[in-house]
Structure 1
Amino acid sequence: MGIKSFLSKPLAAITASQQKKWMQNAVQTQHSWREKIVHKASQTVYGKDHKFGDINTYEDFKHAVPVNDYEGIKPYVEQILEGKNDILWPGKPLYFAKTSGTTSGVKYIPISKDSIGNHIGSAKNALLNYIHETGNSRFLDHKLIFLSGSPEMTMQSGVHTGRLSGISNHHVPGYLKTNQLPSYETNCIDDWEQKLEKIIDETIDQPMSLISGIPPWVQMYFDRIQQRTGKQIKDVFPDFDLFVYGGVNFEPYKAKLFESIGKKIDSIELYPASEGFIAYQDKFESEGLLMLLNDGIFYEFIPAEEYFDENPTRLSIEDVQLNKNYALIINSNAGLWGYSIGDTVKFVSLDPYRIIVSGRIKHFISAFGEHVIGEEVEKAMKYACELHPEVEIVEFTVAPMVTPKEGLPYHEWLIEFASEPNDMKAFAKDLDEKLVKLNVYYKDLIVGSILKPLVVNSLRRNSFIDYMKSIGKLGGQNKVPRLSNDRKIADQLHQINA
């Protein structure tokens, strides 16, 4: 056992003890954070505009702070970009996390000196929690790789600006820096395919023990290694025993990823976002991610079916229910107020509070009133793959076909298979039957002959890679939307396959 592995054990025990303490007082902890952040921001421009000085209760807070998306805080961000201080949070942001939005163009999400610990400390605590739960700390003695965006940053009005994964790269603890791959220079390469080849050059002969990244891009890394070596990953990296991931549901990628590895290894799921590090997997025999309720964020939850109402219900943590979809709202010590990050979550435990990410509030199909969400299509896919064990999925997305050349409208599933079903018609039938069971509105449309059963179209290999490349989002932390209410993605995929 190396020195890092040895010393991590007592630190992991301390982290677990601190975690247990706030877990037992989750509701009180949350309202304590609401009071703290409101008080600290009371003299900011936003705080004065929304009369933070008059807020004493959660009801006061809801009356004072509207729910909004980036467009709602954009005028305040623009003031920060003009060089002004004390706008959303005291002082000036430490960073802007730069993201791309569908309606707002480039978004600049503030990260403050107070909030950076949430992003960095939570990732560290996830690993320490794993060490405490499993006793495995061997990975700290070997090489670690984080497949992430470029750590290069620009300056926007005196604020360092870059991708969240790149910002986080600057805060990897010193004791792990010597273990970390790839090199800074390689991480700065913009072209993903060129970067990937360089990453392989630097890692292929190293004792890799932990690999972290978004599953489809990790799979691409594994595929390229196998093309070079003709070996499974376990034979290239015999010390590899921990996979850390986030950003997408792992299930559609799991079978192919583990087949590439050649053995089952431990994994840790994280839920990081530019707006805050929200949850991580704390137990490895239980479903769900532990919601981080003691880290500078006061959370609110809107029932997903009410999200687009004029006055939706807003709940704090003590009023949520099991197995109900909620739009996630953040108020934070970075200066985000009533901010909808666009995700929906579902609680699978209330003691402690554990969630699964069930989809995106704007990623759904409701061309006919069916309101099919990401969680439902992923469950249907998992079910069909279990019935057809020969199937391996690379990637998929779903879109409505509203005006087919003939016959009834339908949902089109565009799937890139690593291994196709032996019986494609049976596979599509099983997908459709599961979706009918999961969504009563979809069932009514099928039974009422408004829609015909879904149609599966098999795409050629690398279709999604070529699609992401065509929109400039290949690699890093980018993700393919699982479903959409229009045919923009579907039509582009068909063009690529023409």
Structure 2
Amino acid sequence: MGIKAFLSEPLARYIVAQQHEWIAASREVQEKWRTGLVQKAMNTQFGKDHFFKDIHSYVDFKSAVPVSDYEDLKGYISKIKEGEENILWPGKPLYFAKTSGTTSGTKYIPISKDSISNHINSARNAILTYIAETGKAQFLDNKLIFLSGSPVLTETGGVLTGRLSGISNHHVPAYLRANQLPSYETNCIEDWETKLDKIIDETIDQPMSLISGIPPWVQMYFDRIIARTGKKIKDVFPEFSLFIYGGVNFEPYRAKLFESIGKPIDSIELYPASEGFFAYQDSQDEEGLLLLLDTGIFYEFIPTENFFDENPKRLSIGEVEIGKNYAMIINNNAGLWGYSLGDTIRFVSTNPYRVLVTGRIKHFISAFGEHVIGEEIEKALRYGMERHPEVEVVEFTVAPMVAPEQGGLPYHEWLVEFATLPNNMEQFVQDVDRRLTELNVYYDDLIKGSILRQLVLKPLRKNSFIDYMRASGKLGGQNKVPRLSNDRKIADELTKINQ
């Protein structure tokens, strides 16, 4: 065992002991953060506008701080971009995390000196928690790769600005930097495909033990290595033992990724975003991700069925229930207040509080009143893949077909890029559709009432999603395709690519 692996073990035990302390006092810890955040931001412009000095309870807080999204905070963020201080949080942000939005264009998410530790320490703690549970630390002595965006930063109103993954790259601990690949110069390459080839050049003969990234882009990395060498990943990287991922549901990618690797390895799921690092997988045996309640974020939860109400019910951590879907709202120490992430989560445990990310509050199909959500789509596909184990899916998205050109009943169109097609496509479609009717009673009613017909699955040619992302300027990095939409914008573009 090398020195890094050896030293990591006592640190891992210390971090887990701290974790147990705040888990045991989860509700009190959240109340501490609520009061502390309000007190610190009392003299900011937002704090004055929303009468923070009069907030003495959670009831007061809900009355004073509305649920918001980026558009609602855009006026405040514009002032920060112009160089003003003490707007959403004391002083100026340390960074702006630049991210693309579907309705707001480019978003500039503030990261403060107080909040940067949430991003950096949480990623570290996910690895240390794994080491404490499994006793496996040898991977730290070999090479590690984090497939990410460019670390090149610009300035906006005197604030350093870049992609979150690029910002995080500047905070990799010194003791790991010597092990980190690719090189800084390669990481700065903007064109994803050029960058990917250069990454392979730098890693293909190295003892890679940890690989991290969003699953579709890791799969692209694996595919090119296999094409270049003719070998499985396990034979190219015999030391590869830990895969860290986040950003999308892993299940649709699992079979193909592990087939590419050629052996089972451990994995850690993360739940990071530009707005904060919210949860990570703290156990190889338990379901769900540990919600991080002591890192500078006060969480609120709105039942998804109430989210679009005029005054939706907002719950604190002590009021949530296992098995219900909630829209997650955050208040953090970078000045995001009542901020709706757009994500939906479901609690699978309340001791400790563990969650599954179930979709996006605005990513659904309800063209006919069915309100099918991402979790249901993914479960239905997974069921079909379990029934047809030969199937490997590269990527997919689902959209409504309201007025079919050929006439007949409308339907949900599934656009799927397969690595391996079903042996019996008709039966595969029937299995997926049947499972969806079991998961969503409204969809079932529409099928039985002859309002909708069975789903239609359109197999797409190889690299359809890569070509779509390339055409959209979103190839690589942290970008991903929505799994379902209530319109046909993405579906129509993919159809054009396949003509």
Normalising to structure 2: TM-score of the pair? Answer: 1.00
Tell me how far 1:286 sits from its aligned partner: 1.1
Matches within 5 A, 1:246-395: 246-395=246-395
Distance 2:160 2:181 in 1: 23
Distance 2:102 2:272 in 1: 20
Paired amino acid for 1:33: W
Tell me how far 1:73 sits from its aligned partner: 0.5
Residue 458 of structure 1 aligns to a residue whose secondary structure is strand
Tell me how far 1:239 sits from its aligned partner: 0.2
Distance 1:346 1:208 in 2: 35
Distance 1:370 1:333 in 2: 38
Correspondence 1:492 to 2:493: yes
Tell me how far 1:284 sits from its aligned partner: 0.9
What residue number does 1:215 align with? 215
CA RMSD of aligned residues (A): 0.4
Q: Once the two structures are superposed, what CA deviation does each residue of 1:373-415 show, in whole Å capped at 9, x if it has no partner?
A: 0000000011000000010000000000000021100000000
Distance 1:202 1:159 in 2: 32
What residue number does 2:484 align with? 483
Paired amino acid for 1:433: R
What residue number does 1:78 align with? 78
Tell me how far 1:305 sits from its aligned partner: 1.1
Residue 110 of structure 1 aligns to a residue whose secondary structure is strand
Residue 315 of structure 1 aligns to a residue whose secondary structure is coil
What residue number does 2:98 align with? 98
Structure 1 stretches (4+) deviating beyond 4 angstroms?
none
Distance 2:21 2:286 in 1: 20
Tell me how far 1:324 sits from its aligned partner: 0.7
Matches within 5 A, 1:7-46: 7-46=7-46
Aligned length: 498
Correspondence 1:137 to 2:137: yes
Paired amino acid for 2:258: F
Task: Identify unmatched segments of 5+ residues in structure 2.
Answer: none
Residue 34 of structure 1 aligns to a residue whose secondary structure is helix
What residue number does 1:471 align with? 472
Paired amino acid for 1:413: W
What residue number does 1:54 align with? 54
Distance 2:31 2:284 in 1: 29
How high is the sequence identity, in percent, across the aligned residues?
72
Q: Once the two structures are superposed, what CA deviation does each residue of 1:91-118 show, in whole Å capped at 9, x if it has no partner?
A: 0000000011111111100000000000
Distance 1:376 1:133 in 2: 32
Matches within 5 A, 1:119-134: 119-134=119-134
Task: Identify unmatched segments of 5+ residues in structure 1.
Answer: none
What residue number does 1:436 align with? 437
Residue 300 of structure 2 aligns to a residue whose secondary structure is strand
Tell me how far 1:314 sits from its aligned partner: 0.3
Paired amino acid for 1:134: T
Tell me how far 1:134 sits from its aligned partner: 0.3
Distance 1:154 1:218 in 2: 27
Residue 295 of structure 1 aligns to a residue whose secondary structure is coil
Residue 196 of structure 2 aligns to a residue whose secondary structure is helix
Normalising to structure 1: TM-score of the pair? Answer: 1.00
Paired amino acid for 1:185: E
Residue 478 of structure 1 aligns to a residue whose secondary structure is coil
Tell me how far 1:461 sits from its aligned partner: 0.5
Residue 329 of structure 1 aligns to a residue whose secondary structure is strand
Residue 168 of structure 1 aligns to a residue whose secondary structure is helix
What residue number does 2:154 align with? 154
